[in-house]
Structure 1
Amino acid sequence: MAEEDQTVLVRCADLARIEVPVSLAQRAARVAAALEAGERVVELPRGVSGKGLATAAAYYEARAEAEAWGVDGAEFDGEFVQGLTHDAAIDLIYAAHHLGDQALFNLFVGYKANHF
């Protein structure tokens, strides 16, 4: 089975479970480390909700698709962040932190907090 066809199951403390393609999940340091250790299920700490994890997975998939169509990454990121509610943004920030995905976390660096 090709790596892009493989998935990793990521579970949150609120018992939410989301399967994410390995090729996308490896962006997250915590997931990449688990995969290197041979794990196919990654447990996340209490700070990550299922909603935050779902938003992160949606971002990974949408960004990969946008890049495949030649969309500018920075433009995509700006539109993605603008489309988030305040609560979704907070959930995504927690998820990015606990996943160890600095690029995902940096979507919010320098972004006006009053936007939400």
Structure 2
Amino acid sequence: MAGEDQTVLVRCADLAKFAVPASVAQRAGSVAAALETGQRVVELPRGVNGKGLATAVAYYQARAEAEAGGADAGQFDGEFVRGLTHDAAIDLIYAAHHLGDQALFNLFAGYRVNY
């Protein structure tokens, strides 16, 4: 299988499961570490719920598409964060922290989230 075709099953403490392309999942430090050991099913820490992971995966995929289309990454990030509800932002912050994705966590510096 080519790297693009491989997926990893990511499972949250609330039992939500996501089949995520390995190339996308590797952005998260905790998932990347598991992939390096050959795991194809990754159990996430208790702080990551299905809603937060779904938002993180949506961000990863949308950003990859935006970058492939030549969009400005900083502008995309700002628009993404501003489009989140308060609850979605909190879930994503917890997910970013527990996934070990400092870049995703840092998205919230300087942006207002809709309440």
Q: The TM-score by the shorter chain falls in which range?
A: over 0.9
TM-score, structure 1 as length reference: 0.95
Q: Which structure 1 residue ranges, 5 or more long, are not aligned?
A: none
Superposed CA deviations along residues 38-94 of structure 1, whole A, max 9, x for unmatched, are: 101111111111000000000000000000000000000000001100000000000
Answering whether residue 22 of structure 2 is matched by residue 25 of structure 1, we say: no
Q: Taking every aligned residue pair, what percent have the same amino acid on both sides?
A: 79
Give me the whole-angstrom Cα distance separating, in 2, the residues matched to 1:59 and 1:19: 15
User: Is residue 61 of structure 1 aligned with residue 68 of structure 2?
Assistant: no
Rounded to whole Å, the distance in 2 between the matches of 1:23 and 1:76 is: 20
Residue aligning to 1:106: 106
- Give the secondary-structure state (helix, strand or coil) at the position aligned to 1:3: coil
- Give the superposed CA RMSD: 1.1
Q: How far does residue 112 in structure 1 lie from its aligned partner after superposition?
A: 4.0
How far residue 110 of structure 1 moved from its aligned partner, in angstroms, is 2.7
Q: Tell me which amino acid in the other structure corresponds to 2:17.
A: R
**SS of corresponding position for 2:18:** strand
Partner of 1:72: 72
Q: Number of residues paired by the alignment? A: 115
Kindly report structure 1 stretches of 4+ aligned residues shifted beyond 4 Å: none
Unmatched segments (≥5 aa) in structure 2: none
The DSSP-based 3-state class of the residue aligned with 2:4 is helix
Structure 2 distance, partners of 1:45, 1:24, is 19
2:40 and 2:99 map into 1 onto residues whose CA distance is 15
Counterparts of 1:19 and 1:59, CA distance in 2: 15
